């Protein structure tokens, strides 16, 4: 599904009536600040050009009809007053969860016909799920005139994913999809959702940020996330603070000694070191971007990867290979991004060497016997918005 006219025609054929509008919301990559969001810390995502779109028309009869052009199978028909958390529905749980979350928050959403289509790679750690939630919430917010701000839309999307679908994600993905702007990375404080758009015009600096989708997803992921989360909470408790975000980077050394002396598990010590140092790396990269020294972010990305690999231990062979092969081929820096155990890595490169680096990574994957990775530049793009009819 390429353009809005096609989506309009497809919606009209499917539901027998024209959509009232079309909305778009992007996937994202996180530049720096990983596993920090459930610790109240900082993250720095940017929106991708890849996005989900939703053609939507209101209904007043309580029916919710959902269709995705990307999934085989027909329309999923539900009733808005019978939506129940954790009741399955496969992919349709994401948009249905948004309707549920809106109604739980007291908004009178009386039904809708929705057709979704997306260019965000699924399960690659690029947040195809948040794109679906945010695009659905934006459309319903406009059509039912709910008056929600972009951050409020994001919080509803997270509620849908946490409490309806049942995935314990932080707030970064939905905030990125709802709030990012073209040419910027989003500096987000996940504790109070204060944010700042940080200029990140790669082309102006002769640079590219490559996304390398390893196309693998190791099963380890789900339990490992919960285990890291519990470890971070144990660390904060042992240090007598609310969240690890409250530990200043300057005090990290002393805190690690305190934890070790108190007999905390060595994994807790490692997790604390990762979270507090990655939070610090967000601030380092912001200072560099503000100073216009984008190239100097490269080594910080490498340090972030080492921390995720050695301290948090959420990387994998394929992600480590992207980073080592890219650096060996002249990249400025690279790291895994997202939850790890597969998914995607990012690579900061000079524009002039982007092809060489991409080829070197692909070649290294072939030599190691891995599937061919997907490689594309992450151009910092716009966040969620109405795209038709034009304003």
* Among candidate residues 242, 231, 236, the one with its CA nearest the CA of residue 313: 231
Catalytically annotated residues: 173
353 close to 158: Cβ distance less than 8 angstroms: no
Instruction: Determine whether the annotation assigns residue 94 to a binding site.
Output: no
Strands 112-118 and 63-68: parallel
Tokens of 104: 């739980």
Structure tokens at 190: 């996940």
Among ligand ADP, Mg ion, none, what does residue 201 contact (CB within 5–8 Å per kind)?
none
Residues 65-104 that bind ligand ADP (CB under 6 A): 68, 70-71, 91, 94
Q: How many chain residues bind ligand ADP (CB under 6 A)?
A: 16
- Does 123 appear as a known binding residue? yes
**22, 78, 132, 256: residue in contact with ligand ADP (rule CB under 6 A):** 132
Residue nearest to Mg ion (CB): 129
Buried/exposed code over 303-336 (b: 16+ C-beta within 10 A; e: otherwise): bbbbbbbebbbbbbebbbbbbebbbebebbbbbb
* Position 129 contacts ligand ADP (CB under 6 A): yes
By CB under 6 A, is residue 118 in contact with ligand ADP? Answer: yes
C-alpha 304/C-alpha 31 separation (Å) is 10
Residue 278: CB atoms within 10 A of its CB come to 26
- Is 307 annotated in a binding site? The answer is no
Long-range CB contacts for residues 86-89, cutoff 8 Å, separation at least 24: 86/164, 86/166
Q: Is 283 annotated for ligand binding?
A: no
Least distance CB 225 / Mg ion (angstroms): 12
CB of 116 to ligand ADP, least distance (A): 5
The residue from 41, 111, 125, 231 that contacts ligand ADP (CB under 6 A) is: 125
Smallest Cα–Cα separation from 286: which of 152, 379, 195?
A: 195
90 is in an annotated binding site: no
For residue 267, which phi and psi values (nearest 5 degrees)?
Answer: -65, -35
Applying CB under 6 A, does 128 fall inside the site for ligand ADP?
Answer: yes
115-123, 252-260, 322-330, 353-361 -> range binding ligand ADP (CB under 6 A):
115-123
* CA dihedral for 148, 152, 157, 160, sign (positive or negative): negative
Indicate whether 39 belongs to the interface with ligand ADP (CB under 6 A): no
Residues that bind Mg ion (CB under 5 A): 129
Residue 95: CB minimum distance to Mg ion, A: 14
SS3 for 11?
Answer: helix
Q: What is the DSSP letter of 83?
A: -
| Alpha-helical regions (H) of 144-206 | 150-159, 172-179
Closest distance of CB 77 from Mg ion, Å: 25
Nearest-10 crossing angle of helices 252-261, 221-239? 90
Nearer to ligand ADP, 40 or 338 (CB): 338
- Which residue number, 128 or 302, has a Cβ lying nearer to ligand ADP? 128
Shortest distance (Å) from residue 242 CB to ligand ADP: 28
Feature table: binding site: 34-37, 68, 123-129, 161, 225
Binding site for ligand ADP (CB under 6 A): 68, 70-71, 91, 94, 116, 118, 122-129, 132
Feature table: binding site for Mg(2+): 129, 161
């Amino acid at each position: 599904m390429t353009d809005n006219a096609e989506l309009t025609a497809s919606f009209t054929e499917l539901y027998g009536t024209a959509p009232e509008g079309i909305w778009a919301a992007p996937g994202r990559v996180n530049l720096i600040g990983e596993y920090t969001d459930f610790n109240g810390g900082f993250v720095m995502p940017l929106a991708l050009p890849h996005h989900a779109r939703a053609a939507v028309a209101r209904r007043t009869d309580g029916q919710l009809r959902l269709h995705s052009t990307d999934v085989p199978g027909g329309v999923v028909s539900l009733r808005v007053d019978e939506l129940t958390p954790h009741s399955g529905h496969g992919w349709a749980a994401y948009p249905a969860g948004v309707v549920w979350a809106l109604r739980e928050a007291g908004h009178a959403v009386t039904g809708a016909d929705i057709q979704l289509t997306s260019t965000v790679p699924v399960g690659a750690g690029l947040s195809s799920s948040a794109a679906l939630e945010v695009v659905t919430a934006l459309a319903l917010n406009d059509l039912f005139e709910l008056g929600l701000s972009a951050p409020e839309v994001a919080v509803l999307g997270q509620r849908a994913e946490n409490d309806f679908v049942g995935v314990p994600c932080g707030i970064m993905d939905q905030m990125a999809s709802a709030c990012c702007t073209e040419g910027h990375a989003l500096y987000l404080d996940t504790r109070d959702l204060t944010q700042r758009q940080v200029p990140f015009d790669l082309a102006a600096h002769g640079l590219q940020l490559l996304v390398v989708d390893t196309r693998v997803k190791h099963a380890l992921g789900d339990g490992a996330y919960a285990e890291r989360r519990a470890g971070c909470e144990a660390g904060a408790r042992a240090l007598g603070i609310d969240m690890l975000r409250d530990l200043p980077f300057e005090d990290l050394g002393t805190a690690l000694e305190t934890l070790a002396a108190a007999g905390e598990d060595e994994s807790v010590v490692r997790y604390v070191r990762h979270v507090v140092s990655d939070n610090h790396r967000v601030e380092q990269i912001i200072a560099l971007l503000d100073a216009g020294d984008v190239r100097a972010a490269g080594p910080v990305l490498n340090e972030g990867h080492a921390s995720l690999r050695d301290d948090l231990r959420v990387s994998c062979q394929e992600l480590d290979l992207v980073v080592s092969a890219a650096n060996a081929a002249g990249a400025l820096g690279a790291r895994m991004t997202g939850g790890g155990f597969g998914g995607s890595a990012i690579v900061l490169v000079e524009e002039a060497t982007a092809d060489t680096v991409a080829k070197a990574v692909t070649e290294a994957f072939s030599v190691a016997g891995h599937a061919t990775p997907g490689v594309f530049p992450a151009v910092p793009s716009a966040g969620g918005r109405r795209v038709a009819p034009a304003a």
